[in-house]
Amino acid sequence: MKLWDKGYTIDNIVEQYTVGKDRELDLHLAKYDVQGNEAHAHMLHKIGILNKQELEDTLKGLSEIKAEIEQGQFVIEEAFEDVHSKIEYELVQRIGETGKKIHTARSRNDQVLVDLHLFVKAEIDIIKEGIQTLFGTLLQLSEQHKDKLLPGYTHMQVAMPSSFGLWFAAYAECLIDDVILLKAAYKVSDQNPLGSAAGYGSSFPIDRSLTTQLLGFETMKYNVVAAQMSRGKLEKTVAFALASLAGTLSKMAMDICLYMSQNFNFLAFPKELTTGSSIMPHKQNPDVFEVMRARCNHIQNLPANITLLTNNLTSGYHRDFQLLKEQLIAAVTSTKENLEVCNFMLQHIIIKDELVEDEMYDYLFSVEEVNKLVMNGMPFRDAYQKLGQYILKGKFKPKRRVQHTHEGSIGNLCLKEIKEKMASAW
């Protein structure tokens, strides 16, 4: 069944090429399509298209379809083009001719827009929960390991003292920036496009305020052309937010891969959480974080993909938009998995003790000695040159102690403040 069917059959090669993976992908949107149908039915009743009995029948039929979706029994067969045609067909099968009225004052264009807006809202809420869980784990690890020093690097050269407390808390606070972008994406998605129809509104006296309220949107996309233009813009906005989060996770995954190597040996994981080599019996590889890094880098490319797909399209609908669905759904799914696996792995992380006692980290403390001279009255440039001469002559003997007190430093992690900052970010 095709919602645009006019009594003729198109060539199979055209149908297969244009439908693509919609039947599979639309299963992710099915429950939201039912939700949109329910709100639309209430609105059609208000404007006199459906009488009271027809509304009750329609809602009953949609409730049955929703139950099938929730039970995993809903299937979109090859006879159907997409979820919209399948649900309308099922509705007609259940309630008869009344089911044919459901598409009044509507287009597949605003149907899929509603589905995607509702999908994005729900998925961002789930992603937010995953971030909060990971955030809590990072803060707990920061507090637990706050006294364990860790070499800090610039230009990949030993630079200044850091700590595991500082390192864990850094990624926790970076997640706040990602939440801010996700919140912006959520706000973009929290606008009702239903009623824009094919992008130019309808001559029916529809009540868009009612559907906005029934669907739980904060507001509506008032201008119908602007509503249609949210296709592509919605996906791009979400893509930038997901890419920001992916950037945070990718950088942490890279740190972990580096720190697990024998040359660094800063941390480890139980052997059951690593993988081996087919020919080297000693290997315990960080495959989880290598795959996570790759997945995250793939997500970081999503904004560019969407931009290239939508960049030179005029206002109004184009079938090009169909390709956005697969990329968006895949990125959302991968993001949730990345968060879950990352949190699981960090709960089992093994931190090595007394790393900076090795003589290779002597110069890690050179700045500390410069600062001590300055605090005792020597001008900074003179202190810098004096320590530089000691180092060049091999006379530098560090005292492996740090005394950092300012906000956000090794000795003052501000974990309470970071936690409060995250709470206010959403």
Q: Which residues are catalytic?
A: 155, 277
- Evaluated on CA atoms 311, 312, 316, 321, the torsion sign reads negative
Find out whether 217 and 280 touch, Cβ atoms under 8 Å: no
- Evaluated on CA atoms 409, 343, 267, 144, the torsion sign reads positive
Q: Measuring CA to CA, which residue among 205, 171, 59, 36 is closest to residue 117? A: 36
What is the spatial distance between Cα 71 and Cα 67, in angstroms, rounded to a whole number?
Answer: 6
The encoded tokens of residue 152 equal 């800090």
CB neighbours of 116 closer than 8 A, spacing ≥ 6?
29, 189, 231, 234, 235, 325, 328
Q: Which CA distances in Å does 300 have to 47, 246, 325?
A: 46, 6, 17
What is the spatial distance between Cα 64 and Cα 45, in angstroms, rounded to a whole number?
Answer: 20
DSSP for 278-291 reads: SS-TT--B-HHHHH
What is the spatial distance between Cα 194 and Cα 212, in angstroms, rounded to a whole number?
Answer: 8
The most distant pair of C-alpha atoms in the chain lies apart, rounded to whole Å, by 94
What is the spatial distance between Cα 174 and Cα 249, in angstroms, rounded to a whole number?
Answer: 10
What is the spatial distance between Cα 307 and Cα 169, in angstroms, rounded to a whole number?
Answer: 33
The encoded tokens of residue 335 equal 């993001």
The encoded tokens of residue 220 equal 């509506």
Looking up tokens 């006019």 gives 6
